Homo-oligomer: A and B are copies of this chain.
Amino acid sequence: MSERKARVKVGVVGATGYTGAELVRLLSSHPRVELTMLVSRTESGKSLAEVLPHLGGIDLPPLSTLDMERLASECEVVFLAGETGFAMEHAPVLLKTGVPEFAFPGYPAGSEKKILPSWSEKKILQVIDLSADFRLRDPALFQEWYGMPHRAPELLREALYGLPELTPPDAYRYARLIANPGCYPTASALALAPLLSADLVDSECIVIDAKSGVSGAGRSRVSVEYLFTELDENFKPYAVERHRHTPEIEQTLSGIAHQTVRVRFTPHLVPMRRGILCTTYARLRQPVAISDLHALYTTFYGDQPFVWVRPLGDFPATRDVYGSNRCDIGLTIDARTQMAVVISAIDNLVKGAAGQAIQNFNLLMGWEPTLGLPMAGIAP
């Protein structure tokens, strides 16, 4: 269907947040997107460039209030970039305005997926959610880590967790709702998936030492601790005892490993705006040649346009992927402790959020995954 259309009508909810604005920036130059609606509950009525001058000079619709009917009528795909809890309240409403639920038996349950009865007649509204609302399969796990009951558990089962390099391409065919992965889970899972898929390491005590630029905290996190003066020239751990991305990482990796994976995940804040670097450590079950490990990774990601497994001896820096949708990976084996050390780098707002959402969108539309996405990073 979409194949035949030149441009798809797209709406972004939460357009003035860091993730939302990055979505708008990238979508505004996507060759097959028409941005029809930008929602900001706090700044409606203004132009986006008034609020965020870096988006000056591009043609955009004005910011509007959250009007579900307008969204449903003016958009074919809606990106939700709200706070935790927003999507599980609003996605069900949006999806109901589209094709009837029975037509989408969901993923992964539906082996019996039917051809949609009214495919070319009825409007389909698809939703890509960038929050955490639909990432965890298990509502109990959601409640445990996010401290609130899940309000749309039935959609939790249906939602497709879209980490394109690890999600079966087929799964996108009939998806209505995509849960876009978290930034840390993206970088962590891409670093460790090949190791775990090949069952090379002790899966019960994997260490993920993660470092992130500050934009991950978002534009609405306004408190003393996020002031420039508090974070500049400062490096610090946070959420050491418990971070919400832990179960998401374990869910993805356990799926790949076909066994329980337990990770010790420690995030840190780096005095920079963008970029995540994950240094991961896993104990090898038995000695592995470094060249074999490298071959495993290059094969695993062989045809993935956005993963660059660096040559042996070469490790990524966050600046290499600044502004890019790539995930760069470097690896070694520490012979002395028999550990595999795998390091991944992404731009948290691109591959870790808006870019990956567009990659998911491209796959949902049946297009090339690279469409409208930056491959090169920006340096210096």
Q: Which residues of A contact B (CB under 8 A)?
A: 18, 21, 25, 28-29, 52-58, 204-207, 209, 211, 213-215, 217, 219, 221-224, 226-238, 240-241, 246, 262-264, 266, 268, 270-275, 277, 279, 281, 283, 305-306, 308, 310, 313-324, 326, 328, 330, 332, 334, 336-339, 341, 343, 349, 374-380
Contact = CB atoms under 8 A, between A and B. Distances in A.
Contacts of A231: 228
A339 B279 CA distance: 17
Contacts of A226: 227-229
B52 A379 contact: yes
Contacts of A217: 229
A235 B270 contact: yes
A379 B21 CA distance: 8
A219 B339 CA distance: 34
A271 B271 contact: yes
Contact of A378 (B54, B213, B316, B320): B54
Contacts of A214: 227-229, 232
A265 to B, nearest CB: 9
Given A211-B211, A240-B343, A376 B25 contact: yes
A219 B227 CA distance: 8
A306 B56 CA distance: 10
Given A54-B377, A58-B375, A236-B316, 16 more contacts: A53-B316, A53-B320, A54-B319, A54-B379, A209-B209, A211-B268, A228-B273, A229-B380, A230-B319, A233-B273, A234-B319, A237-B317, A240-B341, A246-B336, A264-B334, A323-B378
Query: Chain copies in the assembly?
Result: 4
B54 A337 contact: no
A197 B314 CA distance: 36
B224 A222 contact: yes
A227 B233 contact: no
B337 A236 contact: no
A288 to B, nearest CB: 15
B336 A264 contact: yes
B57 A306 contact: yes
Contacts of A221: 227
Residue among A29, A232, A330, A338 having the largest count of chain B Cβ atoms under 10 Å = A232
Contact of A380 (B215, B283, B321, B330): B215
Contacts of A229: 18, 214-215, 217, 219, 226, 273, 380
Contacts of A219: 224, 227, 229, 380
Nearest to A307: B57
Residue among A18, A28, A320 having the largest count of chain B Cβ atoms under 10 Å = A320
Given A232-B272, A240-B315, A54 B321 contact: yes
10 contacts: A53-B320, A57-B306, A205-B337, A207-B281, A214-B229, A217-B229, A219-B224, A228-B232, A236-B315, A237-B277
Contacts of A277: 235-237, 268
A192 to B, nearest CB: 14
